[in-house]
Amino acid sequence: MWAVSCRRVLFYSRIENQGEKMKRMIAGAVLALAVACGSTVLVRAASETPRPAASPSQVVLSQWNEIGRKLIAMAEDFPEDKYDFKPVPAERTFAEQLLHVSASMYYFTDPAQGQKPRYPDDPKRDGLKTKAEIVAFVKKCVEDGAAVIKSKGDKGMGELVTDPESKQQIQVSDLAYGLTEHSGEHYGQLVVYYRVAGLVPPESRPKK
């Protein structure tokens, strides 16, 4: 009887020992998994550290180039046989809209350099008859403005210039923002031209 009881005690003792070992194994596995997950989170957090804020001139340049990119994309995309299209008779044609918004950029580019705007009125179509000529003109207007922003740098954004329209002294950055806003307004009008002509603007198409 005593021998049987001893065997039972040993049997249950082994079971308890095995259970303790299993618990320790499970706890170890959980700890290892937690460490691994924690390391992954730390690595991911390190890789997702926010980039430094852009400088004042970089912000101005980015916005200038972004609206310029959209206008250039439209100029290159719109069918040449529809360049003289207008939604209603009183409006400018598509080509005239492009020439107006692009030439207006010199209301920033030139005064920022102490000069009068080179296009007080919209350019005539005499020397800008083809789509290729107009596309090249739009690109040059955008590039000339971007070059001035780069040359001015952060310090130059705070320089004072005279707004050719209001005759008010303002900072170079504010003059640039004003022309960027003007370009955005005409970009919105050109979106309407696309829609009325039965076309989808480049920015509204599914991305490839």
| Structure-token pair, residue 90 | 């009183």
- List Cβ neighbours of 137 (8 Å cut-off, separation of 6 or more): 98, 99, 102, 123, 128
* CATH architecture designation of domain 56-204: Up-down Bundle (1.20)
> Which neighbouring-strand residues pair with 162?
169
33, pLDDT greater than 60: no
Residue-wise pLDDT tens digits, 179-188: 999 999 999 9
Domain ranges of the chain: 1-49, 56-204
Task: Please write the tens of the pLDDT for every residue from 147-200.
Answer: 999 999 999 999 999 999 999 999 999 999 999 999 999 999 999 999 999 999
pLDDT in tens, 40-70: 443 454 467 888 999 999 999 999 999 999 9
